[in-house]
Amino acid sequence: MQYRTLGHTGVQVSTLVLGAMNFGRIGRTTQDEATAIVDAALEGGINLIDTADAYSDGESEEMVGKAIAGRRDDIVLATKAYLPMGEERNHRGSSRRWLITELDNSLRRLGVDHVDLYQIHRWDPTTSDEETLSALTDLQRAGKIRYFGSSTFPAYRIVQAQWAAREYRLSRYVTEQPGYSILQRGIETHVLPVTEQYGLGVLVWSPLASGWLSGAIRAGREITTSRSTFMPQRFDTAIPVNRAKMDAVEQLAEVADQAGLTMIQLALGFVTAHPAVTSAIIGPRTMDHLHSQLAAADTVLSADVLDAIDAIVAPGVDLAAHEKHDTPPALLDAAQRRR
């Protein structure tokens, strides 16, 4: 396992992060299975675990808390808030009212007195940066969080938040967690240059592109991955954008074979090769998934392999731009583009 400094924090983190989204109802992973995965991940050198309040409505946090009991100080623990937690209209977002309440809920579920990294799961267009940053700064000063970061923010919102922190003399986001894979390279255009400019640590999610780059999806095979069962539209090869992804996967498989790599090694080695990226978040649902992903921990891709990837999916290109989560609201809602 390799280790890198998380932004300018001085904290050393593994280049692979254990993501716990599949713990609980979403991935149908039991507590015993989750604990075994955490045990094996720590033994394999991973020292950062990432979860969120919204993962299975808090169940993931509870399972992580039980799995790390007795060894909290050896783990860099990260969670998130913003997504809805129930039907109550104020049980979501990044207002001071909700963040203070929900952090306490997360700490209770995790069974800890602080988290190392508290992340705003998505940019909240209804809440000012001053409101959110002042609440996070107070929580940091209270010792409940050590650092805080953003997740899936558009580049201009990352810049705006950095400016607001300076303007109002508040603590700032020190990390960003964007989606990034060989098939979704759009963040290379704006987000990664901004994170480099401000010295943010970058923890990328979905480096296997929801399973497209796991090796389990190939032309001529029935797609039976867990993700395809509840997001079928993203795997229906009758849809042109999915055919484009399949064409790219077949070409990438040839590159991997010629380099003596698995598709997982190719995919994880690609994202961790970018100088702006600190770590890649893996989200194993089973022990077999974890072992296949840990096998990529020390993968370093040659310039020839990286050039071959660039020839298949060009730098800065998203093969499925409509699947992104950082699109400005006005591009999704016509009413916001018209007077």
3-class DSSP state for residue 274?
coil
Q: 271, 280 in Cβ contact below 8 A?
A: yes
Structure tokens at 172: 């700032």
Q: Is 307 exposed, middle or buried (0-12, 13-18, 19+ CB in 10 A)?
A: exposed
Does the annotation mark 173 as catalytic?
Answer: no
C-alpha Rg value of the chain to the nearest Å? 19
| Dihedral over Cα of 263, 267, 268, 273: its sign | positive
For residue 179, list its beta bridge partners.
205
Residue 136 parent element (H or E)? helix 129-141
Phi-psi region at 220: left, alpha or beta (left = phi > 0; alpha = psi -120 to 50): left
Catalytic entry in 3, 55, 147, 198: 55
What are the catalytic residues?
55
